[in-house]
Chains A and B, each alone.
Chain A
Amino acid sequence: GAGVSQSPSNKVTEKGKDVELRCDPISGHTALYWYRQSLGQGLEFLIYFQGNSAPDKSGLPSDRFSAERTGGSVSTLTIQRTQQEDSAVYLCASSPLGGRYGYTFGSGTRLTVV
């Protein structure tokens, strides 16, 4: 597609359940990032993939969070045993060659943990 696609756009889940969020980056973009944004707050870096290199996971807030990127394209962010503080908008962005050329963001997944 022409842009970064994220699904689902909204997700309501019960506390303790696992969720998977999907990101389909722009074709040919080697870099892929996950951020999250709580209501009224700035963006919080979660994880960064660049080509076939090992991902930078330094932003993941706990071991309940994990992410994969298959075949250098689609990425899945998994949150296990969700907690209410996980409620946020999860944004995915991709870039042609790392961040030096700016990012294109998807429209995000709004996660609500009840």
Chain B
Amino acid sequence: RKEVEQDPGPFNVPEGATVAFNCTYSNSASQSFFWYRQDCRKEPKLLMSVYSSGNEDGRFTAQLNRASQYISLLIRDSKLSDSATYLCVVDYNNNDMRFGAGTRLTVKP
């Protein structure tokens, strides 16, 4: 089993749609969780951290479910500019951060 697994997609949604991605992780002792965004041929950029109580940043909501060992990212009212690959990142073992392979999102007009 991979340490961090994501549905690779692609997710193709119309503008204004709500879309959700899930990511599962294998190490129950993992402490830190993040979502990164990576545009084509660019480096990943931190989108948001994921806190135990869940957190929201504008149209983006991140949640953590420790019991089931998954994190989620919800994007509301999606924009064309949201098209990118979204990477789930988990603190695997004392600062050894492991990345999921990414979920590709395409928002269409």
Which A positions have Cβ atoms within 8 angstroms of B?
A: 31, 33, 35, 41-43, 45, 48, 50, 56, 58, 91, 98-100, 102-108
Contact = CB atoms under 8 A, between A and B. Distances in A.
Interface residues of B, number: 21
B81 interface: no
B45 interface: yes
Contact of A43 (B42, B45, B87, B91): B87
A50 B43 CA distance: 21
Interface of B: 31-32, 34, 42-46, 49, 87, 89, 91, 94-102
19 contacts: A35-B99, A42-B87, A45-B96, A45-B98, A48-B96, A50-B95, A56-B96, A91-B43, A91-B44, A99-B89, A99-B95, A99-B96, A99-B97, A100-B31, A102-B46, A103-B46, A105-B43, A107-B42, A108-B43
